Amino acid sequence: MASRPFIVGNWKMHGTRAMLSEARAIDRAAQRLMQVEIALAPPFTLIHPVRREAEQIGVGAQDCHPADGGAHTGDISASMVADAGAGFVILGHSERREGHGEKDKLIAEKAAAAFGAGLKVILCCGEPMEKREAGKAVDHVLRQLKASLPDTIEEVGERLTIAYEPIWAIGSGEAASIEDIVAMHTAIREFLVKTFGEEDGTAIRIIYGGSVNAENAAEIIAGDEVNGALVGGASLSAESFMNIVLAAQDVINNQS
């Protein structure tokens, strides 16, 4: 576990301006919890308002287009989300891969565009249940990661975060077991060190997502090579999200 856990709320397609009060409450609470790095990825429409309201937390987007601009009706570029106030973008979420047919190559192009626009990237990976049952989860995830990373990234370090999100654990109420999480994160760490070298490969954060809640957060975040959590449903209210953040803070306090 990293010295400062990274806890990110992915609001997915939830939230109108009425939810700004939750973001404000999260930001206020975050000001007293500096040992945890907290961020929210609201829908595009709320990036700017959340950024304007929040002083302490990071704000990011949930996707971007690989091109910087052009005739792409309905799309939003990395430089546009940066301009709206985003500091990072989540890419390759299984809901984009499945719902929009996004393939690894496109995700790598989006990641290159995001880095080019000065954004950090949270790159998601994760296996479907069939792969896990067939004993191929690690192979699947490492292949996905290799193909979803841009060819040339220099001095990557904390500019890149990997989010391991087993597809079957997302929104199911059933998180992966801590043994499976640690085994996967360890395999991802080895891959990162091999790819980026010791210094960069260990600086990249690996966070877990999939039914994280206040009850299971402490055990997950305390796991070896687990540097934080990517939280969906439980990030939609300040109360449930901050309970996860408090669990992360307890982990830090118990370790020091």
List residues near ligand 13P by CB under 6 A: 10, 93, 165, 170-171, 209-212, 230-234
Q: Which is nearer to ligand 13P, 77 or 235 (CB)?
A: 235
Q: Which is nearer to ligand 13P, 96 or 131 (CB)?
A: 96
Question: Whats the size of the chain, residue-wise?
Answer: 256
Active site positions, annotated:
93, 165
Nearest distance from C-beta of residue 172 to ligand 13P, angstroms = 7
CA dist., res. 165 & res. 229, Å (int): 10
Nearest distance from C-beta of residue 232 to ligand 13P, angstroms = 2
Contacts for 112 with CB less than 8 Å, ≥ 6 apart = 66, 150, 151, 152, 153
Q: Which is nearer to ligand 13P, 211 or 249 (CB)?
A: 211
CA dist., res. 188 & res. 170, Å (int): 19
CA dist., res. 40 & res. 50, Å (int): 9
Q: Which is nearer to ligand 13P, 185 or 201 (CB)?
A: 185
Nearest distance from C-beta of residue 119 to ligand 13P, angstroms = 17
CA dist., res. 91 & res. 85, Å (int): 17
CB closest to ligand 13P, residue no = 232
| DSSP, residue by residue, 215-232 | TTHHHHHTSTT--EEEES
Beta bridge partners of 65: 77
Nearest distance from C-beta of residue 218 to ligand 13P, angstroms = 16
